[in-house]
Homo-oligomer: A and B are copies of this chain.
Amino acid sequence: MEFDLIELIRTRCAVQRADVRLGIGDDAALLAPPAGHELAVSTDTLVGGVHFPFATSAHDLGWKALAVNLSDLAAMGATPAWSLLALTLPEATREFVAEFIDGYAELAAQHGVALVGGDTTRGPLAIGVTVHGFVAPGRALRRDGAQAGDLVFVTGTLGDAAAGLRCLDRRDTRAQALFNAPPDTRETLVARLNRPTPRVAAGAALRDVASACIDVSDGLLADLGHIAERSGVGIEIDAGALPASSALLTLFEREERLVLQATGGDDYELAFCVPAARAGDVQRDLARIGCGATRIGRVVAGERVRLFDGDGSELVPERSGWDHFA
């Protein structure tokens, strides 16, 4: 059975690359990294009931498992190339695996990512993906280069994925209002949760310009906190500047919306810092590839991330992001 599944996965995820010398089917894949480049490598695991509701469709799961990993490469400004998939399933349903791998393959094809290996095991539902990308030496976007005076930006809109999760949560006290919302509004938010768009092209456009970059996976404030810590700076965010989708504006009042935007996870937008003199260039370059970016704050001397209201008072959200063991 396991070997049938591997064959199913291999045939449905069909991106071919000349730099894959030996793909699925041996003890290891054999890959030929391009000369003169660094390899960016990242791995992320999604656990059923922790990182996604068990009701999530297999197709969405396949997409999302790869998307959250490609988002890490995007945050480094790396060009995606190869992936490995470790699939742990309570039972081997051919239908589940087929739908899962179709979702995975759909996104893989968009970025030319080959699936070169992995494993399938029995156990509680979990998906581990490892991705590899290329970046020229010294040009990767890191977390440790932000400097006081830089401006802080974020791509796209914030809080939609967390709002989508609330739309799915029937225990939510506001569930009635959410269920009564226009279906396409709810669907827009749920799609942001289940089928995030890794900002690969935006990450590439930010190389040589952004002083620091991270993807928003745990929540904006938590993720910017990593930049602040690694760069040895403080970051001040203007609550009123946080970008919101019209769906979020429709369904949530200001205060609730702000918590979702500042602390909701799973957005997979890029948050980045740019020297003030380059800010115009960056916004123009991103607009050219169809990716909006909003200025949301600035880097200061100091050591942590603070969120300010329009009147200058500091806002302290309930929590600053996901801590998987909290």
B2 touches A28 (CB 8 A): no
State the A residues within 8 Å of B (CB).
1-2, 5, 21-22, 25-33, 35, 38-45, 47-51, 72-73, 75-76, 78, 82, 84, 86, 88-89, 91-92, 116-124, 126, 128, 130-133, 135, 137, 140, 142-144, 213-215, 230, 323-326
Residues of B within 8 A of A43 (CB): 84, 86, 117-119, 128, 130
Nearest CB in chain B to that of A122: its residue = B324
Question: How far apart are A36's CB and chain B's nearest CB, in angstroms?
Answer: 8
Question: How far apart are A269's CB and chain B's nearest CB, in angstroms?
Answer: 13
B40 touches A30 (CB 8 A): yes
For the complex, give the distance between the alpha carbons of A78 and B29 in Å: 11
The verdict on A121 contacting B215 (CB below 8 Å), with A84-B41, A143-B26 known, is no
- Assuming A41-B82, A45-B86, what are 12 further A-B pairs, CB within 8 angstroms? A5-B325, A27-B42, A27-B75, A27-B143, A28-B75, A28-B76, A41-B84, A45-B119, A45-B121, A50-B122, A91-B325, A122-B325
For the complex, give the distance between the alpha carbons of A42 and B27 in Å: 7
Residues of B within 8 A of A118 (CB): 43
**Which of A22, A28, A135 has the largest count of B CB atoms less than 10 A from its CB?**
A28
A120 touches B324 (CB 8 A): yes
B39 touches A33 (CB 8 A): yes
Tell me the interface secondary structure of chain A in the complex. Answer: strand
Nearest CB in chain B to that of A212: its residue = B26
The verdict on A84 contacting B130 (CB below 8 Å), with A2-B325, A26-B142, A30-B140 known, is yes
For the complex, give the distance between the alpha carbons of A121 and B78 in Å: 24
B143 touches A41 (CB 8 A): no
**Which of A22, A26, A214 has the largest count of B CB atoms less than 10 A from its CB?**
A26
- Interface pairs A-B: 8 shortest CB-CB: A47-B123, A28-B42, A92-B325, A124-B124, A27-B75, A28-B40, A128-B128, A33-B33
The verdict on A27 contacting B215 (CB below 8 Å), with A21-B38, A84-B130, A122-B47 known, is yes
Residues of B within 8 A of A27 (CB): 42, 72-73, 75-76, 143, 213-215
Question: How far apart are A203's CB and chain B's nearest CB, in angstroms?
Answer: 9
Question: How far apart are A33's CB and chain B's nearest CB, in angstroms?
Answer: 4
Residues of B within 8 A of A73 (CB): 27-28
Residues of B within 8 A of A123 (CB): 45, 47-50, 124, 126
A72 touches B28 (CB 8 A): yes
For the complex, give the distance between the alpha carbons of A181 and B178 in Å: 65
Question: How far apart are A172's CB and chain B's nearest CB, in angstroms?
Answer: 21
**Which of A30, A33, A118 has the largest count of B CB atoms less than 10 A from its CB?**
A30
Residues of B within 8 A of A49 (CB): 123
The verdict on A47 contacting B88 (CB below 8 Å), with A27-B75, A30-B140, A78-B28 known, is yes
For the complex, give the distance between the alpha carbons of A325 and B94 in Å: 11
Residues of B within 8 A of A32 (CB): 38-39, 137
For the complex, give the distance between the alpha carbons of A214 and B130 in Å: 23
The verdict on A45 contacting B137 (CB below 8 Å), with A27-B76, A30-B76, A40-B28 known, is no
